A and B are shown apart, each in its own frame.
Chain A
Amino acid sequence: MGDEAQTTSTTVSKEITSQPNQDELILAQQRQIEKEISDSTTLVGELEPISSLNNEYSSDEVYLDKVKDLGEKYKFIRRTRPDGNCFFRAFSYANIERLLSKKEDYNEFYRISEESKDVLVSLGFQQFTVEDFYDTYMEVLKKLKNIENLDEAHKELHTTFNEQGFSDYMVVYLRLLTSGQLQKDQDFYSCFIEGDRTVTDFCHQEVEPMYKESDHIHIIAACAALNTGVRVIYMDRGTEKSCTAHDLPEGCSPTVHLLYRPGHYDILYL
């Protein structure tokens, strides 16, 4: 009797100790996948013709029709790394890129960005860490502001966004701005949040952590935070021949164009 009890308890404790190993295995595999993705795709790619999408769908009629349709509206695509941050990275990049050629708009954007830290701190964000991201964000914007030659500015933007440290800091700050926007207009946004989460909970769980994917609500808040509009072109397995376009917020004149394929955003150019 006693022996039996002891053997069961040892098998149970073996099971218990094997659980962490399972966890660690899952984590290791996850890291492996992340590494493969980061080795094969740059954070923000070079301009490529729309037709480059054909290689991905060589035997898929539904998608080929849509790529053709897309090619009639847009000239280029710029791919981003599918790491869950793609919307924020693509949006931040495309928005700054278009502003580079419009000095006045850029200065206005710079001014709003300068004030953004105080807004976030007043909303209850931790001053110490917000400052850290804000400083790097402004450092990048300032550097770009001071480059006179447009080509050089574009090159600098591209290099900065492909340096993991800086690129991620730009993403984090846009995430914070988005979270700030959601919390500032809680009453409005709370209607769009599923489950019984508060807007603040939602921000802590879905907006502020890195690698969390973006939904409509993220996009609308991010647009409001940067005071601009986005057109998202949806390309999925739907049977219609053309892609559907959505302007966010509705009725805006979009300045940034993004291609959405399930789970991922890339930048489009007219």
Chain B
Amino acid sequence: MSLSAKYNMKSPGVKRLMREAMELANPTEEYYACPLDDNLFEWHFTVRGPPGTEFEGGCYHGRILLPSQYPMQPPNIILLTPNGRFEVNKKICLSISGHHPESWQPSWSIRTALLALIAFMPTSAAGTIGSLDYTAEERQLLARKSTNWECATCGRASERLTAAGGSPELTQEESSLLKQIALKAEEDTNRKEPNVEQKEDSPSSQTNRENPEIRQRVIPSTNDVDSSLNTADSLLQDSVDRTNKDKMWAVVIWLLLSIIILLLIRRLFFL
């Protein structure tokens, strides 16, 4: 094995990652992760969008960057598939990942981080680092598109998960942990309440920015799924155009109204 030549196999951190790689070697229905061929400290993963949410049917791919001090310090998670919940290509804020090192525990693992990510997706973004506030429709659309998304190193991400069954049961500690994370998000929402309102207008501009990127990433293929995606795509564009048009009309109406009022005032007071 080339890995044993490259890494100090006696180091507990390396041993731990090898052990985790063995544990996660078989894909499950919900998640799959494995280290890159040439780097034990960078992994790629795929998670399935949680059923019953706007991410249902989506397959999201990303990178996990492990600090040299892992597991003493938390892994960093970066999503690559556009999803409408987290920014892509940016370290995301999860109470168990890199941006909150104080609450990470060495007895958690990459598996814990992935389960937390899945559990965290449907929670409110509320202006936390790397979060996006897309509408449910936009997210559903992105979920459908995500099955065609391809990673340059791993290929089509959705094919990395098994079709059904096979995910190991959660241990008692894991399920209580996942509840903890949801709670944490809740607290964050309350604290950052004042920002939420002001942020309201940004999704439309973000959609505008994201859109060309999303379209580039859809793989041109002849199957019929694609045509439905294209129509949906134009729908999305339409809705953005419509909000822009609405704004323009509002300005015109205000202008006309103020002119009329001005004229009225002139009529009343000066003549």
Within 8 A of B (CB), among A149-176: 164-166, 168-169, 172, 176
Q: Which residues of B contact A126 (CB under 8 A)?
A: 107, 109, 171, 173-174
* Residue-wise interface mask of A (83-124) relative to B, using a CB-CB cutoff of 8 A (1 in contact, 0 not): 000000000000000000000000000000000000000001
Q: Report if B105 contacts A (CB, 8 A).
A: yes
Instruction: Contact check, B129 vs A129: say whether CB atoms are below 8 A apart.
Output: no
Question: CB within 8 A of A129: which of B11, B108, B199, B201?
Answer: B108
Query: For this complex, into which size category does the number of interface residues on chain B fall?
Result: 35 or more
Within 8 A of B (CB), among A5-42: 9, 12-13, 16, 19-20, 23, 27
Q: How far is the CA of A211 from the CA of B198 in the complex (A)?
A: 37
Q: Which residues of A contact B11 (CB under 8 A)?
A: 165
Binds B, one of A73-81, A188-196, A202-210, A259-267: A202-210
Nearest Cβ distance between residue B62 and chain A, in whole angstroms?
18
Q: Report if B102 contacts A (CB, 8 A).
A: yes
Q: Which residues of A contact B247 (CB under 8 A)?
A: 2
Task: Tell whether A208 pairs with B107 under 8 Å between CB atoms, given A124-B173, A169-B12.
Answer: yes
* Residue-wise interface mask of B (180-216) relative to A, using a CB-CB cutoff of 8 A (1 in contact, 0 not): 1000000000000001001101100000000000000
Task: Tell whether A1 pairs with B173 under 8 Å between CB atoms, given A129-B107, A136-B12.
Answer: no
Q: How far is the CA of A168 from the CA of B72 in the complex (A)?
A: 8
Q: Report if A69 contacts B (CB, 8 A).
A: no
Q: Which residues of B contact A209 (CB under 8 A)?
A: 102-106
Q: Which residues of A contact B104 (CB under 8 A)?
A: 209-210
Task: Tell whether A133 pairs with B106 under 8 Å between CB atoms, given A23-B99, A124-B173, A126-B173.
Answer: yes
Q: Which residues of A contact B13 (CB under 8 A)?
A: 165
Q: Which residues of B contact A169 (CB under 8 A)?
A: 12
Instruction: Contact check, A12 vs B198: say whether CB atoms are below 8 A apart.
Output: yes
Task: Tell whether A128 pairs with B109 under 8 Å between CB atoms, given A2-B251, A12-B198, A23-B99.
Answer: yes
Q: How far is the CA of A1 from the CA of B250 in the complex (A)?
A: 11
Q: Report if A234 contacts B (CB, 8 A).
A: no
Q: How far is the CA of A125 from the CA of B105 in the complex (A)?
A: 12
Task: Tell whether A16 pairs with B199 under 8 Å between CB atoms, given A2-B250, A132-B16, A165-B13.
Answer: yes
* Residue-wise interface mask of B (65-107) relative to A, using a CB-CB cutoff of 8 A (1 in contact, 0 not): 0000101110000000000000000000000000101111111
Nearest Cβ distance between residue B244 and chain A, in whole angstroms?
13
Q: Which residues of A contact B130 (CB under 8 A)?
A: 20
Nearest Cβ distance between residue A164 and chain B, in whole angstroms?
7
* Residue-wise interface mask of A (251-269) relative to B, using a CB-CB cutoff of 8 A (1 in contact, 0 not): 0000000000000000000
Question: Can you give 21 A-B contacts (C-beta < 8 A)?
Answer: A2-B250, A2-B251, A9-B198, A9-B202, A13-B199, A16-B199, A23-B129, A126-B173, A128-B19, A128-B23, A128-B111, A129-B71, A129-B107, A129-B109, A132-B15, A132-B16, A132-B19, A172-B106, A208-B107, A209-B106, A210-B72
Q: Report if A62 contacts B (CB, 8 A).
A: no
Q: How far is the CA of A127 from the CA of B254 in the complex (A)?
A: 67
Q: How far is the CA of A2 from the CA of B251 in the complex (A)?
A: 7
Q: Report if A130 contacts B (CB, 8 A).
A: yes
Instruction: Contact check, A130 vs B107: say whether CB atoms are below 8 A apart.
Output: yes
Q: Which residues of A contact B19 (CB under 8 A)?
A: 128, 132
Instruction: Contact check, B72 vs A125: say whether CB atoms are below 8 A apart.
Output: no
Q: How far is the CA of A200 from the CA of B177 in the complex (A)?
A: 11
Instruction: Contact check, A133 vs B202: say whether CB atoms are below 8 A apart.
Output: no
Closest 10 CB pairs between A and B?
Answer: A129-B107, A165-B12, A20-B129, A12-B198, A208-B105, A172-B106, A169-B12, A165-B11, A136-B12, A124-B172
Q: How far is the CA of A233 from the CA of B176 in the complex (A)?
A: 39
Instruction: Contact check, A133 vs B99: say whether CB atoms are below 8 A apart.
Output: no
Question: CB within 8 A of B103: which of A127, A164, A166, A205?
Answer: A205
Task: Tell whether A176 pairs with B12 under 8 Å between CB atoms, given A13-B202, A204-B180, A209-B102.
Answer: no
Q: Which residues of A contact B103 (CB under 8 A)?
A: 205, 209
Q: Which residues of B contact A2 (CB under 8 A)?
A: 247, 250-251, 254
Q: Report if B27 contacts A (CB, 8 A).
A: no
Q: Which residue of B lies closest to A207 (CB)?
A: B105
Q: How far is the CA of A1 from the CA of B255 in the complex (A)?
A: 10
Nearest Cβ distance between residue B129 and chain A, in whole angstroms?
4
Nearest Cβ distance between residue A213 and chain B, in whole angstroms?
12
